[in-house]
Chains A and B, each alone.
Chain A
Amino acid sequence: MNHLAVWGGIAAVVIASTVGDVLQSRAMKEIGNPGLVRQSHGIVGVIRRVVTNARFMIGLAFMAVGFFCLLVTLSWGEVSIVGPASASLTFLANALVAHIYLKENVDRRRWMAALCVAGGVALLAR
């Protein structure tokens, strides 16, 4: 498989994983702290709130798509490229999308955190 296909696969992993993470984060912000929800609605109430949240379920589907894209891409390219590239780029994409879509305050400190962790993960996964 050529480089273009491998990097296309990595892009698919990064996009699907990021969309999944961000949608689940948004869903949990809406649902609230499960411990507090359990106090007022019980454990069944927590589960019902989670599984009936459309964003949560779509996020879960995107995470599954990301996982299968990773498996397929791993069969196309070398693990030492696909693993580090997808993991570290997902960290950076999450920071960018969280700032734009979730309106999180991604200041210089959080960008430095994302860059350091992305670099560290890339080194660990090689």
Chain B
Amino acid sequence: MTIRKYLVLSVVIVCAACGDVSLARGIRAFGAVTLANLPTLYIALFNPWIGLGILLLIGFFVSYLSALSWADLTYVLPATSLSYILMVLLAKFFLHEHVSFGRWVGVALIVTGVGFAASGPEATPGTHRHNRIETVYGPVGALGEAADSGVEP
């Protein structure tokens, strides 16, 4: 794993958690949305918090897809589940929500799961296209990724 790849996973984690919390922060200003006041959702789009939340979730989706291009799904999902923990921390300290003991146990379980996933390789050899591109074109080595696949550029 290169620093660049850790950075992509970090962006997935931060954007997912901050995006959800930002949406939650924004939608609270409008109260409960029901079929009777559905147009409220359109007005909500112009709320700065909701706009920020949408931008962050776009950032999440782009970085998530990027991660899937070089890592296994069964690596990316547990590795990026740290976003749930960040979300709990933001909910407690930013939204001032109550976090029960059971939820802290959940946080501990997720940290354990991330530890299991992160201690292994991120990709099954030969299943990702960029490994083949590295073999053919070589310049990928300049990004420090050839070393990951064990291919000499």
Contact = CB atoms under 8 A, between A and B. Distances in A.
A110 B75 contact: yes
Interface string A82-126: 000000000100110011001111110110111111011111101
Interface in B60-79: 62, 65-66, 68-70, 72-78
B44 interface: no
Nearest to A95: B74
A103 B65 contact: no
A32 B62 CA distance: 13
Given A114-B74, A117-B78, A117-B109, A31 B116 contact: no
Nearest to A39: B139
B77 A29 contact: no
B75 to A, nearest CB: 7
Contacts of A121: 81, 84, 106, 110
Given A32-B130, A33-B130, A122-B106, A116 B116 contact: yes
B105 interface: yes
Contacts of B81: 117, 120-121
Contacts of A119: 106, 109
B133 A36 contact: yes
A15 interface: no
A105 B127 CA distance: 10
Name the prevailing secondary structure of the B interface residues: helix
A117 B66 contact: no
A116 B73 contact: no
B27 interface: no
A87 B35 CA distance: 26
Interface of B: 62, 65-66, 68-70, 72-78, 81, 84, 88, 102-103, 105-114, 116-117, 119-120, 124, 127-130, 133, 137, 139-140, 143, 145
22 contacts: A21-B73, A25-B73, A25-B76, A29-B127, A29-B129, A31-B69, A34-B62, A36-B143, A39-B139, A104-B72, A104-B74, A104-B124, A109-B117, A110-B74, A114-B74, A117-B78, A117-B114, A120-B111, A120-B112, A121-B106, A124-B88, A124-B110
